[in-house]
Chain A
Amino acid sequence: MDTSLFQHDFTASSAIDTHGRLLSRDWLGRAVRVCLAIFLLVCCYPVLAQAVADFHSRQQTLEGFREAIRWEPWNPERYADLATGLERPLKEGDLPEIIGLYEHAVQLSPNDPDYWSRLGQAYDWASRTVDSQHAFEQAALLFPNSPAIQWRVGNFYLREGRREQALAALEKALIADPELRRAAFDLAWRATGDGDLIARRMIPLRSDIYFEYLNYLSGTERLDAALDAWNRIVASGLSFESKDALTFLDALIAHRRIDQLISARTTLEKRSPSVTGKGGPDANLITNGDFENEILDGGLDWRVNRMAGATVRTDNLAFLDGTRSLRIRFEGTQNLSDVLVFQYAPVNPNASYRFEGYMRAQAITTDSGPQFQIRDADDPAILLFQSEGAVGSLPWSRRQGEFKTGPQTELLEVRVTRPASKKFDNRIAGTVWVDQVSLRLIEK
């Protein structure tokens, strides 16, 4: 046997085998590479499609939104975007397409309350009330605490005349989103005009919401409803501070509801005697007359008339009694002729009162110093009391007087003012302190 031939044959067979295996490995590698490429393409396509769809969507044109849908037909937001685009502004015949788009969005994302809510609104627009109700209720079911959805649901019920359900939904909306409160108050009033129903069904017994509602009513001159809300606040025992009632008191003052003003003042006296003074026949009618509390700049508290040439603030270094007084510092730059601080005080007509207040002065220049004035709030020409001005330097000095109100007088302005000087050197400088201001009824 020729061993070399045998060997040769063996080698040739081995080469063929190796070549075949290499060939098969090459094909396998190629197949793997192709598969990998396909896999990568499949994985990358959604990312790529989203990027392209975003690009088209950012153009904010109808064509851009349509192109975005072509690239990303599985994304419900694309349909909602196009629907929103078609709404603004609406063209004749677009409403069915808008509804179709929202329906598509809901089909793609049936657990998204926002799409249900928008679909409900579109149905409502087309007067498809039953479909609209179903869509809104589905949205509320999916996200019951969403203020935006409760707002839409509440509006829908109001349009359908289901006031109680509407106000219940609006209550949820205003609790969840403080920014919706005023809009909800106003909507409820425009829709129902029924203050009692609104208070019972929509306003929760929460101090912050009730006072916001009270301020809304006061600001929109619905004073009877405001009084009703105030009475509910007082009766329910909600906690609040005097400053919370400022807008309400200002409205009562502006509309000269003096009886209600006195009643509100009495309530505040019971709640915060340190601010308003204690009630009773010998009560001091001046609020915060000892300046021990923060000046509230409204209601029945002091109001500061800010002006160039004088700064007004409380002072805890100089005082007659307690721990604080009011300090007015004049800069010597103006011939001031205006009221510096004042407050309203409700009084009885044809009644006698005693006023008392203390002033301390330091280096007050000019011939005309600050003084107390009391005048009728409705007829400023009726000046009831005017004290001596504080000029130069003075220790704590009492200014007092008695006066009788006129037959029409129900509200007084108690002021600290400085009459203009008629002299050549008339720019007032120096400092004056005010403390222990009181106004008491002597005789009715």
Chain B
Amino acid sequence: MEDRMFTRNSVILTLLFLFSMAVAAAQVPIGIVSSCEGASIGGTTLVPGTTIFSGDKIDVGAGGKVLVAVSGGGQVQVFENSTVQLTKSPDSVQVTIDRGDAQESGKGIVVSRGTTTPSDNLLVGVQADQNDDKDCSVSKHTRRKKRCKDGND
């Protein structure tokens, strides 16, 4: 009887372990880059339409800016000279600022300051220039997506 119990528990634990591994391996999408300029993830220059997954760290250089359309209708703006990490929790999207500034709009997005530069203050109420990122737009004539140019260019 004890042997059977042990076997059953082992099977359940193994299945749970495998399930948790599968969940951990699957990347959880958070949103899409709707516009960008002078920004990268892991050294790769961002282009509009790129999917942001949970755990991705976005770097924005001087003169750059990124808008992330968060699934569900929210948006995260990352300003120049900033690094933020986006992570998904069951009921919200966490935006952790390592350096620089970011701003959120929409429900379920929580912006918090990382430990790298605690002295910096979160920028609140900044009105970014609208449509100032033409370099990242999709050319209607060529149907080609333009790369996000370096902010210094």
Of B11-19, B82-90, B136-144, the one contacting chain A is B136-144
Hey, which chain B residues are within 8 Å of A149, CB to CB?
143
Question: How many chain A residues touch B (Cβ–Cβ < 8 Å)?
Answer: 45
Evaluate contact between A62 and B130: CB separation under 8 angstroms. yes
Evaluate contact between A183 and B50: CB separation under 8 angstroms. yes
Evaluate contact between B51 and A159: CB separation under 8 angstroms. yes
Q: Which residue of B lies closest to A139 (CB)?
A: B143
Contact with A along B61-75 (1 / 0, CB 8 A): 000000101011111
Hey, which chain A residues are within 8 Å of B131, CB to CB?
60, 84-85, 88
Pick the contact of A191 from B43, B53, B137, B147 — CB < 8 Å?
B53
Evaluate contact between B29 and A158: CB separation under 8 angstroms. yes
Evaluate contact between A186 and B41: CB separation under 8 angstroms. yes
- Asked, given contacts A88-B128, A190-B53, whether A182 binds B69 with beta carbons under 8 Å apart, the answer is no
A191 to B131, CA, bound (A): 29
Contact with A along B82-105 (1 / 0, CB 8 A): 000000000000000000000101
Residue A146 CB within 8 A of the other chain:
yes
- Asked, given contacts A186-B44, A191-B53, whether A125 binds B73 with beta carbons under 8 Å apart, the answer is yes
Q: Which residue of A lies closest to B35 (CB)?
A: A88
A335 to chain B, nearest CB (A): 37
Pick the contact of A87 from B34, B143, B144, B145 — CB < 8 Å?
B34
Residue A90 CB within 8 A of the other chain:
yes
Residue B111 CB within 8 A of the other chain:
no
A85 to B143, CA, bound (A): 19
B113 to chain A, nearest CB (A): 20
A2 to chain B, nearest CB (A): 86
A185 to B41, CA, bound (A): 12
Hey, which chain A residues are within 8 Å of B147, CB to CB?
179
B153 to chain A, nearest CB (A): 15
A229 to chain B, nearest CB (A): 17
A260 to B94, CA, bound (A): 42
A interface residue numbers (CB < 8 A to B): 60-62, 77, 84-85, 87-92, 95, 113-114, 121, 124-127, 143, 146-149, 151-152, 155, 158-159, 161, 177, 179-180, 182-183, 185-187, 190-193, 219-220
Given A127-B72, A182-B45, 4 other A-B contacts at CB below 8 A? A88-B67, A89-B128, A114-B143, A146-B144
Q: Give me the 8 closest cross-chain CB pairs, A-B, nearest first.
A: A186-B44, A90-B75, A159-B29, A146-B143, A148-B145, A125-B69, A155-B51, A95-B73
